[in-house]
Amino acid sequence: MKLLRKGLWNVLGFGVLFVWLVMMGLLVKKTYFQPPPRIVRVTENASSVSEEKTWMSIYHHDEKIGYVKSRLIKQPDGFIVADSARMNLRVGGTVQRISTSIIGHLHQDGSLRSFVFRLTSGLVHFEARGKVEDKYMIVNSRLGGEWRQSKIRLKDKPLLSVGLWPYLMKNGIKVGTRWRVPVFDPSVMAERQVDVEVLSREVIVLDGKKWDALKVKTMFMGTEVFSWIGPNGERLQEESFMGLRLVRASEEQALSGISFHPETDLAEEASIACNMVLGNTSEIAYLKVRLDGINPEGLDLDGGRQHFKDFVLEITRETTPLNIKASRAYEMKQIKHYLAPEPMVESNHPSIKTLARKIVGGAKDPESKARRILRWVYKSLDKRVTVSIPDALVTLKERAGDCNEHAVLFAALSRAAGVPARLCAGLVYNRKRFYYHAWNEVFLGRWVTADALMGEMPADVTHIRFVEGGTDRQADMVRVIGRVKVTVLEARESPKSEGASQQPFRPLSRDHQI
């Protein structure tokens, strides 16, 4: 299928925004994470922590795009921490106006008791309310007007680290100290770990005033965030990838000078230039690329149609139909999880199950079912940028979305029809560049790619999978964005005759025009 629709181009590459918002969450609320040497034990009494109210300006490169307001309030039995942020982002040529807020109730030792998290963008409203009960986080979330409950097992006593710095400062930190901190992330409903290391003592100047600060490195999924912390635990400045920066300010400074029409497009900035024109990607049967700039450990680069070794990735397009019966035992034992509902993929909901039965009709084999569902999702959803937590039920109601919404709805309908399906995130080629994208794989005797946004099954070989899993797993893409470099080494068209697949590479004659 040729990519000829303007609407499709507008949402291609929008998969980066979900991950960018994850990074915003890390920088603004510090709620996302992964591991160093020493674990912080949340057992000491933090009653000496002082109350504070902080404003910060949000910059993307040198352009001001929003602000953050933070509060720390002492209570007889602990603390209340509150963060709210507003920002304007340009993605795919469209400006998105986004607001987030989180209120956390903490015990005296700083550990999390309960929270309320909200995300608003246009007509989209997401809310999650969580409470720690024994070793579980009970979360009630609402998206699209419907409340749902999840029960998540916790490995550690979780934190919301909005109030972490004052607590650590009161207990004494110095250059060279390091921690491992467990944190619960309400937007992806998962517990993570964060690495914190005090690097050095520096003097920084903000608005003409000198501050004696500690420079601290926070590691999230291999991505570094640098923070400058003042003498009393004040956040003075923070910097991360793709030019994201927060700077301490007065209330008046934080609220003024915000650009309502940012110039930099996040999808374009995050996209990766291709070293050659690939032409009509539907005709390519084999692609060989080199991936540089990333640590592949923990990524899902190898498996299925992808073979990864020594930073070289080979992708061979799948063929159908497939032998379903030969792998029935494998299907039942190994991929039962991909038939079950999960947060945001509500395959057991009556609306999803009823629609799935209607779409597949009399189809019996998994491939026919998957193709009918793919065709329905592709034709029924308006291709539109959507700033939200991707959710199948809400997507079904709104009948619109970008790659994330197409993927969660396709997964839910496929599972409801008895076809194992999973979510994938990575890159896809278009107009001489690679853009961040989300799609699916369905099990038809073996895993086969399916892209409901583009209407492709199998998807073309320029779909480069980095991670497989739900929204919590997609957050791992932060390790890739802004770092990975893609060099095409070889591309071959489908063989026209015997031995054609062995012919040397020749550039294809045309590129997508949209």
Distance in angstroms (rounded) separating the CA atoms of residues 72 and 373? 49
Q: Which amino acid is at 154?
A: L
**Which carries the bigger pLDDT value, residue 94 or residue 189?**
94
Q: What would the DSSP string read from start to end of 166-234?
A: HHHHHT---TT-EEEEEEEETTTTEEEEEEEEEEEEEEEEETTEEEEEEEEEEEETTEEEEEEE-TTS-
**Which carries the bigger pLDDT value, residue 362 or residue 152?**
362
Q: What is the band of 457 on the pLDDT scale with cuts at 50, 70, 90? A: very high
Q: What is the band of 204 on the pLDDT scale with cuts at 50, 70, 90? A: very high
The answer to whether 141 and 153 have CB atoms below 8 angstroms apart is no
Q: What is the band of 317 on the pLDDT scale with cuts at 50, 70, 90? A: very high
pLDDT of residue 232: 74
pLDDT of residue 502: 36
Distance in angstroms (rounded) separating the CA atoms of residues 222 and 219? 6
Q: Is the pLDDT of residue 203 over 90?
A: yes
pLDDT tens-digit series, residues 444-453? 988 999 999 9
Q: Is the pLDDT of residue 217 over 80?
A: yes
Cis peptide before 321 (omega within 30 of 0): yes
**pLDDT, averaged across the chain:** 79
Distance in angstroms (rounded) separating the CA atoms of residues 371 and 377? 10
Q: Give, in degrees to the nearest 5, the angle at Cα 378 between 331 and 89.
A: 105
pLDDT tens-digit series, residues 127-143? 888 898 988 888 888 87
Least confident of 90-94, 100-104, 481-485: 90-94
Distance in angstroms (rounded) separating the CA atoms of residues 471 and 413? 17
Q: Is the pLDDT of residue 323 over 60?
A: no
pTM: 0.78
pLDDT tens-digit series, residues 369-380? 999 999 999 999
Q: Is the pLDDT of residue 346 over 50?
A: yes
The four Cα atoms 229, 42, 79, 46 give a dihedral, to 10 degrees, of -70
Q: What is the band of 464 on the pLDDT scale with cuts at 50, 70, 90? A: very high
What residue segments make up the domains of the chain, in order of their start? 23-255, 271-493
Least confident of 74-88, 151-165, 334-348: 151-165
| Mean of pLDDT values over 350-376 | 95
pLDDT of residue 251: 94
Least confident of 120-124, 253-257, 354-358, 431-435: 120-124
Q: Is the pLDDT of residue 256 over 90?
A: yes
Least confident of 57-71, 235-249, 466-480: 466-480
pLDDT of residue 462: 96
Q: Which amino acid is at 412?
A: A
Record the tokens describing residue 475, joined without a space.
């957050």
CATH topology of domain 271-493: C8orf32 fold (3.10.620)
**Which carries the bigger pLDDT value, residue 448 or residue 169?**
448
Record the tokens describing residue 485, joined without a space.
């470099």
Which phi-psi region, left, alpha or beta, contains residue 455 (left: φ > 0; alpha: ψ -120 to 50)? left
Q: Is the pLDDT of residue 383 over 90?
A: no
| Mean of pLDDT values over 470-491 | 83
The answer to whether 55 and 254 have CB atoms below 8 angstroms apart is yes
**Which carries the bigger pLDDT value, residue 333 or residue 349?**
349
- Averaging pLDDT over each range in 166-175, 228-237, 243-252, 299-308, which range is the top one? 299-308
**Which carries the bigger pLDDT value, residue 401 or residue 284?**
284
pLDDT of residue 168: 61
pLDDT tens-digit series, residues 489-500? 999 987 654 443
Name the percent of the chain lying above pLDDT 70: 76
| Mean of pLDDT values over 413-439 | 93
pLDDT of residue 66: 93
